[in-house]
Structure 1
Amino acid sequence: MEEFIGKLWHNWVTKAAAGHYPEAAVKLGEVEKTAGILFRAFGGDPGLKVAAATSEEHGARRRWLQRVAGSNEKVAQARRDAETLRLPPEIAAFPDKSLNRDLYLWLAALAASDVAPEQPWFIRNQRATLAALHNYPGLRPRYERLVAAHLAARIAASQLQPDEAAQENALRQAMQQPGTVDGLPPLTSVKSRPPQPVLLWLIASEMRAAGKVADPNGEVPPEGSGSNAEPEKQAHKAEQVETPDNKAPVLAMFRAESLPTWAEYVRVNRAYDDDENPNAKDAAKDLDKLSLTRDGETAVSRVKFDLDLPSAAEDDTPVGPGIALPEWDYRKAQMLEAHCHLQPMIAQDAGHAALPPELAATARKLRGQFAALAPQRRWLKAQPDGPELDVDACVRNHADRSSGHTPEGGGYLSQERCERDLACLLLADLSMSTDAWISDSHRIVDVIRDSLLLFSEALSTTGDRFGIYGFSSLRRQNVRFHLLKDFNGRYDAAARARILAIKPGFYTRMGAALRQASSILYEQPAARRLLLIITDGKPNDLDLYDSRYGIEDTRMAVHEARRMGLTPFCVTIDREAGAYLPYLFGPAGFCVIRKPEELPRRLPLLYAQLTRD
């Protein structure tokens, strides 16, 4: 009964306090795609991704009922930084659902019109508002409705202290008539509170704290290691701090009687210091700010990963001294020459192998379908020489001579073999993330392996020239480029053995691999050259590559391939790829396969569609 009454009281007082309307709430997931498209259409940075903002205490005054209900203490406000446009995870500020949705769209338009990001918060948002309303006057009716609804929900200036009231009046004027207020009046009392949050504006993004931490190039948990839980999408406010010394630990007192005796021994699983805290994620959600540091200690997941790495005796054989490749630094807008070292490799002692029996039926079906694409002989008419007469050409030539004209063509038929003048290079992501299981019997790398085999079986029927390579990386000095089948080699038992020998490891420095693949494909004498990339996630590596840096470098590598006359196309099984692949490959330059187990069957058919005349 007490719990029931408590729920009734909580629901009533929360609703009476106002400021939150759950029945009209709009979540970011509902408008994330629309807001992203609008942001980029209005001229926003196409490299920014849309993500959820953090909820923070604002410290402003609240109504009496809000204090009783404990509501409206925290608020998530929009902000943007060098990599992310962060919007509130949910907006329920207005009783009208359409207004909540319009607020998302307005914030996206405001972020795209942020013409003075270096200015103070108050001036910056007024200028951004003026720019948005000037460039897109159709937004003005929505903006005016949002301003009216937001001002009605704010505490009136008459209910505030004089200095707070002056700030509130300045904010109201700045929202109703942007550009007319030069600054906020100062607070004069120690009891004064900050102004109420302005939901229609962006807040400043905090810079990373500058502190002495461990080496940023030190080892971090590798891709594919640790927990297999779903990625946490909730954002957290964080700060970077130094590792505590703990030179003077507190002496913990205990009672000797509490120690278990031999007779009281109980068989339990003993936790180790390196074990992950199962309650850490729940505890992080309750914290206002996370303090992060590098302690330089080895985590258990890292040890497990290192044990999975092949030794030098079991690793693939390096081919040659390696290749120095450039890398694009978007922050400097500069190509860093010889920044990466790419090492070609080939599987040692792979031997020879036949096609796995479970793929035989599918391969036979694909060979039958691709036989129609194989080069065929056709008759060419009106040729100067040939084994047979072209009756139509002979009649036309006789009529031309009779009328006093000179015949334009010959009178023979000849046969010619019609070759498909194209070449394809297939580049497969072999990073550690492909070691993840997608079913009880298959990992991602198993699906990629089957796809490469069936792809090769299909193209060997058409006679198209193709090469297959794989890649992974461990920082910029060690980009591994695996040769599975080159353009000059035949697809035979040795090539099948190399494909069957692929194994996952390391990371995904895609830009360097794309540049090397483009260089190889560019040398092929073909009218059409297709560069197919198979991956299961976005570019990342141990260093700065696991950020927008990697996205921008990969995008530049794709542009370089297109300037070379190549056609890059990405096939991915990452369900979240829609957030970044359009920026990398363009709206028609990629394909997302929702069910990874369908990749082996769909990849050859996708190739047939891409190379159709």
Structure 2
Amino acid sequence: MEEFIGGLWHRFITRAATRSYPQAAVRLVDMERTAGILFRALGGDPGLRVAPAAETEHGARRGWLARIAHVGEKAAHAARDDETLRLPAEIALFPECSQNRDLYLWLIAQGAALPADGLAADNWIAANQAASAATLMAFPGFASRYQRLVEAVVAERPDPRKLPADEAAAERAIRQALAEPGSVAALPAAKRPPAPVALWLYPAPVAIDRRQSEPPATPAERPEGGKTQDATDRRRQAQREDMPDGKNGLNLPFRAESLLSFAEYVKVNRGQDDDASDDPARAAADMDRISVAQDTRDTASKLRFDLDLPSAAHDDIPLQSGILLPEWDWKKQQLKRDMCSLTLLDPRNAAPCELPAHLLRPARRLRHQFEALTPARRWLKNQPEGPELDIDACVRAFADRRTGHAVDSTGGYLACERRERDLCCLVLADLSLSTDTWVSDEQRVIDVIRDSLWLFSEALGATGDPFGLYGFSSRKRDHIRFHRIKDFDEPADARIRGRIGALKPGFYTRIGAGIRYATQILAKRPESLKLLLILSDGKPNDVDHYEGRYGIEDTRMSLNAARQEGVRPFCVTIDKEGQGYLPHLFGPAGYTILRKPSELPARLPLLYAQLTSA
């Protein structure tokens, strides 16, 4: 009964103290596509990704009811740095959904107008006002929406008449800055920080340099496919700490419970706190702030033997090694020559095989559909020359001559013509370790990719279009693996099906180097239309600095170089977060996201037919 009454009281006091409207909440996941399009349309940096912001303690004054209920201590501040635009994961500040949605749109406009380095801790208020004034001047359509938001935000803010003098002065300055952007140079000093301003972006938290946080002598790195996902998708802040030495003067060097007493001895199970099989993900779910320290020891969560390079006797057969490729450094805005080393590989022990039984029926259906695209012979009538007479043209000329009409003597023969499809296609499949994850109870991502390549080979075998199949993975810039599955001049037979069946996931996704080498292969083809189909399941990633904005920008530059060579790239991905970065890489019509990975085998040949129909 006591717990029941306590639960009722907790729900009552929390609901009474919370100043939000959950029934009108708008979530960032529902605004993701709109946010990316609007941010780039307003002139924002197209390389920035949109991500949810972490909740942090703001330290502002709260009402007595909020203090009793322990609510309102934290707020998710919108922020921007040189890689990410962070917005609240959910906005429920106003009682109407339209107002909460308008607040998202205004924060996106602010993020597009603010310079990347314009939110320093000493000038962020002035920078927000300058961005607001610039946005209202460049886009007058925002004026009425901004005015409504200011009135709604001011109505939710604390009354200056009920605040101490110093906090009241700061609150009045904030209201003036919102009403007249650019009129306040700085806020008056106060003992407490003001309540969060929902219409402004805050300075971004200091990012942790991953290269500094990793010990240089660690032999095993975190695998790309070994990530764990927080079920709540809640953002958390991180802080740098020194690694504890494991020594504590208050701890006994032995377990006190191991001391036996002659009076009483009870055999009991040890508590959960001493269980050796702790769940780190469950422990992290209870933390608001995660501390990060540098350690020279390996942990079980980082060790993955798949990342060790196999010996030459068990590795794939190298066909050519030491192929040097450039890489784009977006921070220096410089293309570094000969930065990557690529090795061309053939699968070892790939025995020829037939098509799997579960693909026989869809392969038969696709062959029938794609046979309509096969180049066929057709006879052209009334030609000036040809191997046979055109009987219809001859009869028509004889009738015209007998009736006294003019006779067309330019034609009278049949000519046979064969219309060829002047195109080729290269399929580049991501074979990184992340493809080892399961998408269903029976299939992994790599299994879906194998089925897709099998069906794609069967479909294009019916058209006669030249195509090649390749895969890629990487382990730092000096070991990029490029797997040859099928060259353009090889027939799609049992030997190629065996190579597809021998594909194995491993390592990371340095996609820029794979695209550059695939472009070199396509540049040697004589066809006029050169299609590059990229199959991927996530962002560019490698164990060194190749991640985040660096990997995105290098991939973008490699795609631009491919277009200059006459190659048409198109990406097929199962990454649910691809909407945030794929438009920047491939353009609005250069990619497709499959929500169900199992659809890839059937969709890939049909996508090829659509891309080559013109």
Q: Which residue is 1:509 aligned to?
A: 510
Distance in 1, Cα, partners of 2:560 & 2:399: 55
Distance in 1, Cα, partners of 2:231 & 2:16: 36
Distance in 1, Cα, partners of 2:197 & 2:273: 51
Q: Please give the TM-score of this superposition, normalised by the length of structure 2.
A: 0.89
Distance in 2, Cα, partners of 1:407 & 1:479: 66
Distance in 1, Cα, partners of 2:212 & 2:527: 55
Cα displacement (A) at 1:273: 6.7
Kept in 2: contact 1:48–1:82 (CA 8 A)? yes
Worse-superposed segment, 158-167 or 10-19: 10-19
Q: Which residue is 1:177 aligned to?
A: 180
Q: Which residue is 2:346 aligned to?
A: 346
Distance in 2, Cα, partners of 1:408 & 1:180: 87
**Residues 201 and 470 of structure 1, relative CA distance in 2, 3 Å threshold:** same
Cα displacement (A) at 1:5: 4.2
Alignment of 1:170-249 (within 5 A): 170-187=173-190, 192-208=191-207, 213-215=213-215, 218=218, 219-225=220-226, 227=228, 229=229, 233-246=233-246
Kept in 1: contact 2:222–2:304 (CA 8 A)? no
Kept in 2: contact 1:425–1:530 (CA 8 A)? yes
Kept in 2: contact 1:363–1:454 (CA 8 A)? yes
For structure 2, the residue ranges without an aligned partner over 5 or more in a row are none
Kept in 1: contact 2:215–2:295 (CA 8 A)? no
Find out whether 1:327 has 2:338 as its counterpart: no
Q: The residue matched to 2:375 in structure 1 has which SS?
A: coil
Instruction: Give CA deviations for 1:141-164 in whole Å, capped at 9, x if unaligned.
Output: 121122122222222223223222
Cα displacement (A) at 1:81: 1.2
Worse-superposed segment, 103-112 or 599-608: 599-608
**Residues 266 and 161 of structure 1, relative CA distance in 2, 3 Å threshold:** closer
Paired residues, what number?
604
**Residues 346 and 61 of structure 1, relative CA distance in 2, 3 Å threshold:** same
Worse-superposed segment, 108-117 or 272-281: 272-281
Instruction: Give CA deviations for 1:148-186 in whole Å, capped at 9, x if unaligned.
Output: 222222222232232222222221111111111222223
Alignment of 1:238-317 (within 5 A): 238-246=238-246, 250-252=250-252, 254-255=255-256, 257-258=258-259, 276-277=279-280, 279-284=282-287, 287=288, 289-306=289-306, 310-317=310-317
Distance in 2, Cα, partners of 1:507 & 1:213: 19
Find out whether 1:162 has 2:160 as its counterpart: no
Kept in 2: contact 1:393–1:409 (CA 8 A)? no
Q: Please give the TM-score of this superposition, normalised by the length of structure 1.
A: 0.90
Q: The residue matched to 1:141 in structure 2 has which SS?
A: helix
* Matched AA of 2:374: A
* Matched AA of 1:443: R
Kept in 1: contact 2:25–2:97 (CA 8 A)? yes
For structure 1, the residue ranges without an aligned partner over 5 or more in a row are none
Find out whether 1:371 has 2:371 as its counterpart: yes
Distance in 2, Cα, partners of 1:499 & 1:125: 55
Kept in 2: contact 1:225–1:305 (CA 8 A)? no
Alignment of 1:516-535 (within 5 A): 516-535=517-536
Q: Which residue is 2:593 aligned to?
A: 592
Find out whether 1:479 has 2:480 as its counterpart: yes
Kept in 2: contact 1:83–1:548 (CA 8 A)? yes
**Residues 273 and 417 of structure 1, relative CA distance in 2, 3 Å threshold:** same
Q: Which residue is 1:29 aligned to?
A: 29
Q: Which residue is 2:355 aligned to?
A: 355
Q: The residue matched to 1:40 in structure 2 has which SS?
A: helix
Kept in 2: contact 1:213–1:241 (CA 8 A)? no
* Matched AA of 2:193: P
Find out whether 1:135 has 2:145 as its counterpart: no
Worse-superposed segment, 420-429 or 378-387: 378-387
**Residues 108 and 353 of structure 1, relative CA distance in 2, 3 Å threshold:** same
**Residues 278 and 108 of structure 1, relative CA distance in 2, 3 Å threshold:** closer
**Residues 304 and 118 of structure 1, relative CA distance in 2, 3 Å threshold:** closer
Alignment of 1:308-457 (within 5 A): 310-390=310-390, 409-457=410-458
Kept in 2: contact 1:389–1:411 (CA 8 A)? yes
Cα displacement (A) at 1:214: 4.5
Distance in 2, Cα, partners of 1:587 & 1:446: 29
Kept in 1: contact 2:32–2:579 (CA 8 A)? no
Kept in 2: contact 1:274–1:300 (CA 8 A)? no
Q: Which residue is 2:99 aligned to?
A: 99
Instruction: Give CA deviations for 1:233-260 in whole Å, capped at 9, x if unaligned.
Output: 3221112333234466654253364579
Worse-superposed segment, 357-366 or 314-323: 357-366
CA RMSD after TM alignment: 3.3
Q: Which has the higher contact order (CA 8 A, sep 6+)?
A: 2
